[in-house]
Each structure stands twice: as structure tokens, then as C-alpha cells.
A = this chain, B = another copy of it.
């Protein structure tokens, strides 16, 4: 499993992904699931991956290789005129990779599917965020649905629904994501640290800023422990059930 979230905010885009991959509970590894590309001043793209690791690695490698061979006729992820075209290119690449393995040959016990989040900005338009399905089609985040989750989405969703605010700072959004991830990590062994945080201030068109958050980091521990106390205080602040028990 995996857990990945991307928020669309007035101040920019914030992404977080865990790094655990597993095939069963006895075969776990650590892999980065966030990838970014940038052509400074022109376009910035960030990709979060959930699903079959072979599939998502192939998608990322195809995007990379196409960039490295400009003479290749396939479109590069940079240099496209809009984020819609970026999402379409990534979606088509994902569909191709899955089809290649699914259509013929041995059938794996695990499906070849993957779900991606693509976000970024192309000069001349606003930052945009897309959720890409294994079929290659995709949806865009709007003002009613301003964030996307992939992978093990349920445990960490209530806090996002309650506390997301499009006007929050990127630093507050990073904190919110850590809380959402901490709830998930405490409940599901297949989501695990360290966490990759990526943030893109709107209109900067410069490389995203990234940091890796470890569970033993002081800030993580402060938030994780503080959140337990804060939640209990929050619950205490509400009236008990009124029937005399």
C-alpha cells in the first residue's frame, strides 16, 4: 500500500507521500514515490505514485528517457503548453505501461494498476492538480474537491475534510499532512515513514522544495505526540452525552 496526498491552496501546491512498498507483510522496502521535473521559468511538474511499483517506476523512467532524448518523437513532460497536456501525457504513458504487461504473458498475482497524482504549473496559467486513473483518464481538483488522496486514503481523510482551508499557509498545510499521515501510519502497517514533503509556491516556476521527514525527527514527534493531547482536549471541550448514564 501507499499513502499520498496533494493539496491545492491559494499559496501553491503541497504534496506528501510515504515511502513504504510491500509485497505481503514479510517483504517491505523503502522507495521514493514523489518525482519532480522543472524547466525553470517555464514549467514545474510533481508526480505522486500509488500502486504497482514496477508500473510506476516504468512510467517515471519513460518520462525521464523521453526528456533525455530530445530527438525522440514522443512528447516530453516539459515543454508542453498546459498542465492538461502534461496530465494527458502522463495518463497515456501509464495506460501504455499497464497495457504492455496486462495484455499478454503471465498474469501476476498482483494487478499491474497504479494511480497517480500530477500537479504543477506551466507559465501563463495557474497551478493545477490532476488525479490519473490506471485507464489513463483523469480528473482535476476544483474548488469543491481541492485535494486528492491515493492509496490508503481512509484513516487520514477526516482531518483533511475538517481542517483543509484553501487560504492556509504551505507551512500549516505541511503540518496538516503530517497529522493525516501519522493517523494512517498508526493504523496501517503498509504505510510507513520516512515521509517526502514537496511544496511549490504558486507562480514561482522554480524547482519545488523538498524535505524528507523521519519519524524520529523532533518536529514529527512534537506533532505526533502533541496531536494526541490536542485531540483529547478537543474532545473534552465538547459536552458529554446528556442522558444521565
Contacts and interface: CB of A to CB of B under 8 A. Distances in A.
Nearest to A152: B154
Contacts of A163: 231-232, 235
A235 B162 CA distance: 11
- How many of chain A's residues touch chain B, expressed as a range? 35 or more
Contacts of A162: 227-228, 231-232
A176 interface: yes
Contacts of A175: 235, 238-241
A22 interface: no
B226 A242 contact: no
Contacts of A176: 235
Contact of A222 (B197, B239, B245): B239
Interface of A: 154-159, 161-163, 165, 169-172, 174-176, 178-179, 183, 186-187, 197, 199, 201, 209, 211, 219, 222-223, 226-228, 230-235, 237-245
19 contacts: A154-B154, A154-B155, A154-B187, A155-B155, A155-B157, A156-B158, A162-B232, A169-B245, A171-B240, A172-B235, A174-B245, A175-B239, A175-B241, A176-B235, A179-B238, A209-B245, A219-B242, A226-B237, A231-B234
